[in-house]
Every structure is written in structure tokens, then in C-alpha cells.
Chains A and B, each alone.
Chain A
Amino acid sequence: QGQLVQSGGEVKMPGAAVKVSCKASGYTFSAYGITWVRQAPGQGPEWMGWVSAYNGDTNYARKFQDRVTMTTDTSTTTAYMELRSLRFDDTAIYYCAKSPFLRPMDVWGKGTTVTVSS
């Protein structure tokens, strides 16, 4: 089924940007997409968007549309999520997960903690 390994935790100032990576292995990377989900402390999961590893097509949640970019690099089987103009309430665990177009997420990374603090 595969494995997703995410980059390490980050601490950022308000207004900065963060870029989280997600390295895939054990499956045909370009045959699926990657979904990004975040989870604030004590809250449920929040879907941020999806990127196709086949052609780079994206679908973002309206809430993040203006400040998120999701990309993939098939040469390194790695997906990236960049979130800009960080605010205190962006403090959360950010997960990547393997999923085809409009399908459930069957493999998850362990999460990357992003802390926004002054």
C-alpha cells in the first residue's frame, strides 16, 4: 500500500511561509494523488486540498485557496504543501495522505507539527 514520510516540525513567525514535504514509497506515485489535511489542537481533521501526482492538477479548500500551493515532484516521489501568510490559528499538525481523485485516504504520513509563534 505504501508509505509516506513527512518533514520535521517547524516553528514560524506570523506572516511567514512554511513548506512541508511528503516523501512517498512503496507504490506507483504518479498513479495517485496526495491529500493534505490539518488538525488543530483538540480539533477534528480539516481537508486543505488535493494534488494529482499524475499531472499536477489541484483542488483547494476555498478557505486556503489564496495562500496554499500543493505540488508534486515525480522524479523524487515527493509532494509539497506551502502555506503562506501564516497566522497563529494555523498552528496544527499537517498530514499528507495518499488518495486517488475524490476517493478516501488509505495511507497517511505521521504528520508535521507547524507552530506559529512570535
Chain B
Amino acid sequence: EIVMTQSPATLSVSPGERATLSCRASQSVGRNLAWYQQKPGQAPRLLIFDASTRATGVPAMFSGSGSGTDFTLTISSLQSEDFAVYYCQQYNYWPVTFGQGTTVEIK
């Protein structure tokens, strides 16, 4: 099973600043990596797939990069609605696996 490790566990950011989240896979997953956003009481929402492609309706302030084992989600100019938990997920192999999440909180 592929283990996905996200860092940091918590990221404190001031509104208007940039947030950079990391995700590392225990072995190469190519570009088969997605990012999800989850707010309290809601289901996860797909933000990025294939490492860098934004899902329908996702604003350009969200960008993804990376391949192989190391991936990054960048959120430029954080707004109040962007404070949430973010999960990475690999879908290169069964079983599909998620990282443990990064909480982006208001500084």
C-alpha cells in the first residue's frame, strides 16, 4: 500500500498570504495525485487532479505541481473561505490512499 505523508500537519497563515502544502508518496505515483478541500460538516471537494489540473469551478488561486513522489499544493492570497483541511490522494494503485491532511488555519 502506498503511504501518503503530508506536511505540515497544521499551517497558520494570515489572510492574503500564500500557503504551500506538501505531499510525499512512499513510492512513485506518476502524476496520479489529487488534492481535496474539506470544510467542517462537509464532504471533501476535488480541487486538483493529475497533479496540476484544476477541477471544474476551482479558482486559479489553487495550483498543484509535482510528479513521482513529491507534490505541492499552493494557495495564493488566502481568503476566509479557504481555511480548511486539505488532503492529497494517490490513485495510481489500488488501494487508493489519502494523506492524513493539512489544516490551514488563520494566523
Contact = CB atoms under 8 A, between A and B. Distances in A.
Contacts of A56: none
B98 to A, nearest CB: 5
Interface residues of A, number: 22
Contacts of B34: 104-105
A1 B55 CA distance: 11
What's the interface size class on B, roughly? 20 to 34
A47 B56 contact: no
Contact of B96 (A35, A106, A111): A35
A106 B34 CA distance: 10
Contacts of A47: 95-98
A108 B99 CA distance: 18
Interface stretch (B16-24, B67-75, B86-94): B86-94
B51 to A, nearest CB: 11
B106 to A, nearest CB: 20
A109 interface: yes
14 contacts: A37-B44, A45-B36, A45-B38, A45-B87, A45-B98, A95-B43, A95-B44, A102-B92, A104-B89, A104-B91, A105-B34, A106-B56, A108-B43, A108-B44
Interface of A: 1, 35, 37, 44-47, 50, 59, 61-62, 95, 97, 102-106, 108-111
